[in-house]
Chain A
Amino acid sequence: MIYWQIFLAFFIPGILGYGGGPASIPLVEHEVVGKYEWMSTQEFSEVVAIGNSLPGPIATKMAGYIGYAEAGVLGSIVAMIATVAPSLILMIGMMVILMKYKEEPEVKSLTKLIRPVIAVLLGFMTIRFAQQSVEGVGISYTLLIMGVSFILLEKVKLHPAFVIALALLFGAITGL
């Protein structure tokens, strides 16, 4: 029963992947390459590489593609549902409870307390992206793109979509 196998292969990484999409990559590899042997390590690394250079969340892209490769469109849908549904249902349930008691002083103070933690998480994410950028395009290009995008985003108030489009264009030209 291929669909059941696909469901399991993506359901398990979905509920164990703490830390978002990238955290579940090794877990998916364990299932897809190790347990079910649908792909070789080489094929899997190609999937990850392409997945990394395309936009959008990585975990769902991988699930969608591998499900499609194994069992067509239906396989793709099963894999995506298995990746997304468990954590999403939890999320909605918990947020509904939190919103219900929004006006309680406890929830208000929770929001206040959580804010610095989120700031720290975002801060470290920033640093990781900066590091990744230096590895990807080198330090001088990183500083250049960062400076220009800061000015465009913060001073010119240009929509992020345009800034990203410009960066894509810049990358394509300098990469030729």
Chain B
Amino acid sequence: MVERPISKNTSARPGRVLHRNIGLAFFRIGMLGFGGGPSSIPLVHQEVVKKYEWMTDDEFGDTLALANTLPGPIATKMAGYVGYRVAGLWGCLNALLSSIIPTVVLMIVFLGLLQTYKDVPWVENMAASVVPVVAVMLALLTWEFIKKSGQTLGWMRALLLLALSAILIEAFNIHPAFVILGCFLVAFSSLLKRRKKA
């Protein structure tokens, strides 16, 4: 597997174009993520890795792992971090505001309307029809990660690890954060050994 160089646009002094792109990317992510935070994960991947190439697949995976480990809403953590990474503090604010503000404004407007029109079946159905699309997007993303695992770890080890984490997370109901922390421990154990020798 060929490692791609570090993503573009990581300059210390981003231009106006970059900020416009961050704003647009996260506006789209915010407005299209039906079904809460997790549904925006494939959209973030689409914008950040595929379209703008601000991150590599690996970096996206690491970001997602860490975002999953920490408390709080996942979509905003991803947005804030990606924005920060691409364009510092202003980038962080830009990504956050672009993904949150439009939806909050919609929320305030809609709840106002709700008092007038109590229940609108076709609106509910609209949102519900997006859920299967999100499922397919997540499935495709899942497959990408499985394929990559196989390529980097070898299929035997990859399948073993996949099975192991599936059992831990679903069967034993161990919080994913602990599984990810376990990965940290395994990965850094060699570092501790080296430290001890030194």
Indicate if B137 sits at the interface (CB-CB under 8 A): yes
Contacting residues, chain A, for B110 (C-beta < 8 A): 50, 54
Contacting residues, chain B, for A62 (C-beta < 8 A): 107
B32 touches A55 (CB 8 A): yes
A54 touches B107 (CB 8 A): yes
Known: A16-B71, A24-B73, A150-B136. A164 touches B124 (CB 8 A): no
A95 touches B85 (CB 8 A): yes
- The answer for the CA separation of A163 and B32 in the assembled complex, in Å, is 10
- The answer for the CA separation of A132 and B135 in the assembled complex, in Å, is 9
- The answer for the CA separation of A107 and B191 in the assembled complex, in Å, is 10
- The answer for the CA separation of A133 and B132 in the assembled complex, in Å, is 6
Contacting residues, chain B, for A119 (C-beta < 8 A): 142, 145-146, 149, 162
Known: A145-B129, A167-B130. A18 touches B71 (CB 8 A): yes
How near does chain B come to A35, taking the closest CB pair, in angstroms? Answer: 19
Contacts A22-B37, A55-B103, A176-B122 aside, 10 further interface pairs with beta carbons under 8 A come to A54-B34, A56-B31, A56-B33, A117-B169, A118-B64, A118-B68, A119-B146, A153-B140, A167-B132, A170-B129
Contacting residues, chain B, for A136 (C-beta < 8 A): 128-129, 131
Contacting residues, chain A, for B142 (C-beta < 8 A): 119, 122-123, 126
Indicate if A5 sits at the interface (CB-CB under 8 A): no
